[in-house]
Amino acid sequence: MSLLLDHPEALHRLRKEIDTNVGYGRLLNDSDLAKLPFLRCVVNETLRLYPTVPLLLPHCSSEDCSVGGYKIPKDTILLVNAWAMHRDPKVWDEPERFKPERFEAIEVEREGFKFVPFGMGRRACPGASMGLRTVSLALGAFVQCFEWEKVVESNMDMNYNSKVIMQKATPLEAMCILRQHADRLLSQL
């Protein structure tokens, strides 16, 4: 939500997508997510910039190997820095900038090791799919039901206060106003 408030053009585009594909008669639901590609892009871009944890679970090399020119002996514990991978300028165009549209042309599943907010392979997060759906539904409902405004005019402080988890140093402060049709939508809960 902080990123959307700092980028009102993305928030307006997302609201328009939800209004067009879901409408005003009912609350967004799980079956609508396939019709909301920009919502998926916003969630993916947010996870790229701010993965839940910067370092993925440790891995142990099962045999001697070479990675990026470095020799890794068998039984070495490896830590994958997802935060650094997602901000690598060799991989991402303008890596520090919030650009959800970068995911419009990308099929995340085919990107290999470029986008790894939930890890990869056998040790990937088993709750990734559920987490993506839950965050998408919550964010979509917030946008569908409320008009949002920043409390302060400056950009949100997106720094984090921990080296282990990506918890914001300054909590989001925003004002929300019920949209005209939202009272009927919220009565469906």
DSSP sequence for 99-133: -GGGGTS--GGGSTTS--TT--GGGS-TTHHHHHH
Domain presence at residue 147:
yes
Domain presence at residue 90:
no
Domain presence at residue 145:
yes
Domain presence at residue 68:
no
Which among 88-92, 109-113, 133-137 has the top mean pLDDT? 133-137
| Structural domain that includes position 44 | 2-52+96-112+125-186
58: which residues sit within 8 A by CB, 6+ positions away? Answer: 77, 78, 79
Domain presence at residue 85:
no
50-104 per-position pLDDT tens digit: 888 888 888 888 999 998 899 999 999 988 889 999 999 998 999 999 999 999 8
Q: Is 65 annotated as a binding residue?
A: no
What's the rounded Cα separation, in Å, for the pair 175 and 125? 33
Domain presence at residue 108:
yes
Domain presence at residue 86:
no
pLDDT of residue 119: 86
Number of domains in the chain: 1
pLDDT tops 70 at residue 107: no
Domain presence at residue 164:
yes
